[in-house]
C-alpha cells in the first residue's frame, strides 16, 4: 500500500488557491465577454472537469494522510471536520451578507447590475469577489468529498450542481437575484439529503432520485416566481 507523503498538506492551499482563481476566471469571462453568467458557468463546468479528467487520465487515484483525515476526522467533541467547515463557511457568508458592505453589494448587483452601477457600486469588484468566494467554497467542498471517499474518482461530484441549485432555490435564494438565505440553503440541503437517504433505505430505484430532485426543483422555482410577484424588494434571511 502506498504510504502518505510527508508534504501532502500542500494540497490544501493549492486547492483553495486554484478554486478561488478559477472562480475569478469565471467573473473575468463574464465581465470581458459580456456573456450570461449561466452560460459561462456551465461552459467552465465542462471545461474544468475536462481538464481534471485529462490530468488524472480518467483513473481513480487513492488519497492518504491528512487529505483523508479532513474528510473523516473529528474534533475533540466528536463533530466531524466537514461539519465544522460547513458551519464556518456558513457563518462567514452570513456575516458578509448581513454586516459587511460587500455582501450588500452582492445582493444589489444580483438584483440589478445596471442599477447597482448607476448607484456607484463597483460591480466588477463585486463580481470578482462573488465568484472568487464561490470557487473557494467549491474547493473546500471538493477537499471534504475527496477525503470522505478516499479517492479522486472521475465521477466524483457528477450532477451535484443540480442538487446544489435545488437546495439553494428551495432555501429561499431567488434565481432572478437580489435575495439570498444562507440558513435556508443549509436547511434545504439537509432536507434533500434526508429524502435521498430515505429513498435509499427503502430500496427505491436509484433513477427515482432524479425524478424527486427534479420535482422539488420545479416546486421551488414556482414558489420563487410567486414570491417575486409578492415581494420584489432586495432582502436577506
pLDDT per residue over 102-149, tens digit each? 888 998 888 888 888 888 889 999 999 999 999 999 999 888 888 888
- pLDDT per residue over 5-62, tens digit each? 555 678 888 889 999 999 999 999 999 988 888 889 889 988 988 888 888 787 877 8
pTM: 0.82
Average pLDDT over residues 159-185: 80
The DSSP secondary structure of the chain, one letter per residue, reads -PPPPTTGGGHHHHHHHHHHHHHHHHHHHHHHH---HHHHHHHHHHHHHHHHHHHHTT--EE--THHHHHHH-B-TTS-BHHHHHHHHHHHHHHHHHHHSHHHHHHHHHHH-HHHHHHTT--HHHHHHHHHHHHHHHHHHHHHHHHHHHTEE-TTTTTTHHHHHHHHHHHTT--TTSSEE-HHHHHHHHHHHHHHHHHHHHTT--THHHHHHHHHHHHHHHHHHHHHHHH--S-EE-
Dump pLDDT digits (tens) for 181-207.
888 888 888 888 888 788 778 877 777
Q: Residue 236's pLDDT band (boundaries 50, 70, 90)?
A: very low
Amino acid at each position: 500500500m502506498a504510504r502518505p507523503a510527508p508534504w501532502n498538506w500542500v494540497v490544501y492551499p493549492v486547492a483553495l488557491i486554484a478554486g478561488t482563481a478559477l472562480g475569478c476566471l469565471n467573473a473575468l469571462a463574464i465581465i470581458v465577454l459580456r456573456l450570461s453568467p449561466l452560460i459561462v458557468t456551465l461552459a467552465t463546468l465542462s471545461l474544468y472537469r475536462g481538464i481534471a479528467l485529462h490530468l488524472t487520465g480518467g483513473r481513480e487515484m487513492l488519497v492518504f494522510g491528512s487529505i483523508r483525515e479532513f474528510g473523516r476526522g473529528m474534533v475533540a467533541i466528536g463533530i466531524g471536520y466537514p461539519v465544522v467547515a460547513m458551519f464556518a463557511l456558513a457563518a462567514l457568508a452570513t456575516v458578509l451578507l448581513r454586516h459587511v458592505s460587500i455582501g450588500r453589494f452582492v445582493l444589489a448587483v444580483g438584483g440589478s447590475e445596471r442599477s447597482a452601477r448607476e448607484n456607484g457600486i463597483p460591480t466588477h469588484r463585486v463580481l470578482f469577489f462573488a465568484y472568487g468566494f464561490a470557487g473557494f467554497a467549491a474547493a473546500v467542498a471538493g477537499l471534504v468529498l475527496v477525503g470522505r471517499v478516499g479517492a479522486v474518482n472521475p465521477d466524483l461530484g457528477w450532477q451535484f450542481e443540480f442538487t446544489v441549485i435545488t437546495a439553494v432555490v428551495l432555501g429561499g435564494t431567488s434565481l432572478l437575484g437580489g435575495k439570498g438565505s444562507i440558513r435556508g440553503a443549509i436547511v434545504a440541503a439537509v432536507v434533500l439529503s434526508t429524502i435521498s437517504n430515505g429513498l435509499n433505505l427503502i430500496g427505491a430505484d436509484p433513477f427515482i432520485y432524479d425524478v424527486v430532485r427534479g420535482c422539488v426543483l420545479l416546486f421551488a422555482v414556482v414558489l420563487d416566481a410567486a414570491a417575486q410577484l409578492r415581494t420584489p424588494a432586495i432582502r436577506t434571511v
